[in-house]
Amino acid sequence: MARVNRRNFLHLGMAASAAALAPRWVLSQASQTAAPADRVAQMRAAGASTPVKTTKLYDNIWLLQGAGGNMAVQTGKDGNILIDSSFATAVPHIREAISSVSSDAPHALINTHWHVDHVDGNEGMHAAGFKVIAHSKTKTRMSEPAEMKLFHMSLPAYPAGALPSATFDDSMHHEHNGDSIELVHYDPAHTDTDIYIHFHNANVLHCGDIFFNKTYPFIDEGSDGSIGGTISAAQKSLALADDNTKIIPGHGPLGNKADLKKYIDMLSAVRDQVAALKKTGASEQEVLAKKPTADLDADWAHGGSPDMFVGIVYRTS
Ligand SMILES: [Zn+2]
């Protein structure tokens, strides 16, 4: 598959099916009826108008929630570490949120993966003094024009100032602000760029988009994502958690071990049901018609259609 086709923004509510399935906080960012060219502009407009809320998770760690994916900041005399950067237009709100909890210097911005709702603010945060750290493939994907074939939508490559200046393939370790911080690459899951960030002493784990808390996920087939990979990544995360671990999902409310376990059970149930139908020779359309998630939709579909998720499960399993 051509590299350019691997980049996609489906999870941002850019199609009717995606929008129907997307959690409300994502849905609000882009109308499903907008012309494709306007969709990124709409999301950025949401970034401009949505304040970033801070929630204290530990003495020096806060969850930051605004228009894009969930962010976090660790503060202290070694300098502040930010995880993810939402939309470019959210940068003033992110800076304001950080200032409201810390007067320490900027240090590093870590991207959980390459998607626009997690990296679009990189250039602005870099200009504010943060060095950008990410998986090597995040840098690769951000360095190229992004095109979502399905939605006739494209974004140019990010400028040099937005790109990670420090990258890794497997893992990276930081002793910082009194904590031991592990950055570890998942095998391809939501994308092939996903990492987790684990603050050992604080017992806080940011999973990025391998975990959508309380909603069906988007899995980016165009970036080598798959249902099996997502389940494996979620299980790997679960193994790091105890009953007190605060688990930050890429989207949705702050989670814990029980939430992540429920999520894995849901993913596994859908995978198994779709696999059973697929085994009988059913086409994707036939599987969709059988509504294999009917029992789960009340809890996970938020009133929308689960078809996008079922289709992804069908195609990637
Ligand atoms: Zn994502």
Q: What is the pLDDT of residues 125-184, one digit of tens each?
A: 999 999 999 999 999 999 999 776 555 567 889 999 999 999 999 999 999 999 999 999
pLDDT at 277: 97
Distance 177 CA to ligand 1 centre (A): 28
**CB-based contact 181:174 (threshold 8 Å):** yes
Q: How far is the CA of 103 from the centre of ligand 1 (A)?
A: 30
**CA of residue 196 to ligand 1 center, whole Å:** 13
238 touches 245 (CB < 8 A): no
Cite the DSSP H helix spans in the chain.
Answer: 16-21, 24-27, 36-49, 91-101, 116-119, 122-127, 136-142, 227-238, 257-279, 284-289, 297-300, 307-316
C-alpha–C-alpha distance, residues 201 and 300, integer Å:
32
Split at pLDDT 50, 70, 90, the class of 102 is: very high
Instruction: Give the rounded percent of residues in the chain with a pLDDT score beyond 90.
Output: 80
Query: What is the structure's pLDDT at 146?
Result: 79
Q: How far is the CA of 138 from the centre of ligand 1 (A)?
A: 11
CA–centroid distance, 281 to ligand 1, in Å, is: 31
Quick: pLDDT tens for 220-230: 998 999 999 99
Ligand 1 centroid to residue 172 C-alpha, Å: 21
CA atoms within 13 A on the CB side of 6: 18
Distance 280 CA to ligand 1 centre (A): 32
Dmax over Cα atoms in the chain, in whole Å?
Answer: 61
